[in-house]
Structure 1
């Protein structure tokens, strides 16, 4: 607690958690500005097993295959910006099935100085769904488009 000043000019990184509203997304080394990123989840499936001669009337639980949820990205709709549609068009642009270009996507949480504090990387990511904004004549909010991305792995990137 010695690094805390009473005037609040410096704060300890060990005491104050990071805020979730300051982040950036790099899609294959190109930064895309998003309003929201959700679904950063990794889950290990459980395998249950019981041998027929086991004297215990319950199963043994073992870790199984990892499962990763699709990630949802949301951003404002701009008249001259078709970034999400261009990324999605690559999904169906191949002549053969399963010829989509897969890429790495890095999602970084930023600190108060806009420096990367923590990052997660999606392995072999590709878009699977694009959704246009809902339209409502009496709405008073910006138009938001959504892209859902499938991937084969989520890893925390070590920061130096």
Structure 2
């Protein structure tokens, strides 16, 4: 296996981390089965120009962000569950930033999405079924203002440069 193997190929989607910027947190608060909803959409606004019948102008509008959906096994004593309970049951909303990182085989972030001012809007628990032996899954849905992608181009360029220098050093040593 080459030093460059984890840096050149597209990363796999099963190795990731989620950190909600709130304190305190327990180890259970960092464990999630899946993350979906990192999506942004810009709907163009169509404007007709008087006297021009061949086309209409299209202008970008404000980006619209989907809700983030986090799934995990149901845990007792979770501060994230308390945060969601306060929002849903008591209508006390306390927005927090969220960091979602895709990790490589060395557990180093390949890409990170910094989600700003997220707050819970939906909590659901999977079904209870006496005929199945499955985990109870808690699904948290978060609304947020926007997200920024951090370091995808910088991480890849820096990682390839570092790996190349390591590989060069290994080749020189042999």
For the residues of structure 2 that align with 1:144 and 1:81, how far apart are their CA atoms? 15
- 2:160 is aligned to none
- 1:62 is aligned to 59
Query: Which stretches of structure 1, 4 residues or more, deviate above 4 A after TM superposition?
Result: none
Is residue 144 from structure 1 mapped to residue 137 from structure 2 by the alignment?
Answer: yes
- 2:31 is aligned to 33
CA contact (8 A) 2:49 2:57 kept: no
Considering fraction of residues, name the structure with more strand: 1
Considering fraction of residues, name the structure with more helix: 2
For the residues of structure 2 that align with 1:132 and 1:84, how far apart are their CA atoms? 14
- 2:8 is aligned to 15
Structure 2 residue ranges without an equivalent (≥5): 156-174
- 1:85 is aligned to 81
Structure 1 residue ranges without an equivalent (≥5): 1-7
Is residue 154 from structure 1 mapped to residue 150 from structure 2 by the alignment?
Answer: no
RMSD: 2.1
1:92 positional shift:
4.9
1:14 positional shift:
5.4
- 1:47 is aligned to 45
TM-score, scaled to structure 2: 0.76
CA contact (8 A) 1:37 1:74 kept: yes
